[in-house]
Amino acid sequence: MKIIMLGAPGAGKGTQAKMIAKEYGIPHVSTGDIFRANIKEGTELGMEAKGYMDKGLLVPDELTVKILLDRVAKDDCKNGYVLDGFPRTIPQAEVLEDALNKLNDKIDFAIDVNVPDENIIKRMSGRRACLKCGATYHIEHVPPKKEGICDVCGEPLVLRDDDKPETVKNRLDVYHKQTQPLIDFYSERNILKTVDGTVDMMDVFNAIKAILG
């Protein structure tokens, strides 16, 4: 079972990807993790990717797909995998599809965790973090015992730049421009499944399980 997770930043697709991986005994494959692992191990592909990253350039789609295929060719992926964070654009999806076709392989499901922008902005702007110990909170869902103070170490909590409404809105604009077209791309291939990401995390997961069977 080969699955791609789609959804805007903050929609909770990473959390769902990890839960799917655990439930079905398949690896959660994040492109960021693969890059870091290849660079750390000093592989040929990793060094090639590092060359681009060190210059502040994006790693070309073909190289990203090569690194990805190298990862999913490993034994632990023989029963499938959950892709998180790739593809992000139509060209990436096309390169991935072509590469899988050559291997007589394909993606089985593209799952879109659908959450309206206003929910995401509210969700992310409610996050608070402790810069000292790394503990995270949410003013509505996981509030600290004392407002604005970390339960663990007593330091003041902050709203990170990444979670500020204007930053989240910019990230959502990029998502709608670049990644939203993937919804049509996978819909045309009859593998797109959409779940309501505004409900409780376990309800989202149960909806995904009903799709995957």
* 189 counts as catalytic: no
Q: Point out the catalytic residue in the list 18, 88, 164, 169.
A: 88
Q: Is 25 within 8 Å of 201 (Cβ atoms)? A: no
Angle, vertex CA 144, rays to CA 141 and CA 150, nearest 5: 135
Q: Point out the catalytic residue in the list 13, 66, 123, 128.
A: 13
Q: Is 204 within 8 Å of 197 (Cβ atoms)? A: yes
* 160 counts as catalytic: yes
Q: Is 155 within 8 Å of 131 (Cβ atoms)? A: yes
Q: Point out the catalytic residue in the list 122, 160, 169, 193.
A: 160
* 123 counts as catalytic: no
Nearest CA to 148 among 132, 130, 166, 163? 130
* 145 counts as catalytic: no
Instruction: Verify cis geometry, omega within 30 degrees of 0, for the bond prior to 87.
Output: yes
Q: Kindly give the pairing relationship between strand 127-129 and strand 136-138.
A: antiparallel
Nearest CA to 124 among 159, 157, 158? 159
Q: Point out the catalytic residue in the list 2, 123, 127, 128.
A: 127
* CA–CA distance, 109 with 112 (Å, rounded to integer): 10
* 128 counts as catalytic: no
Active site residues: 13, 88, 127, 160, 171
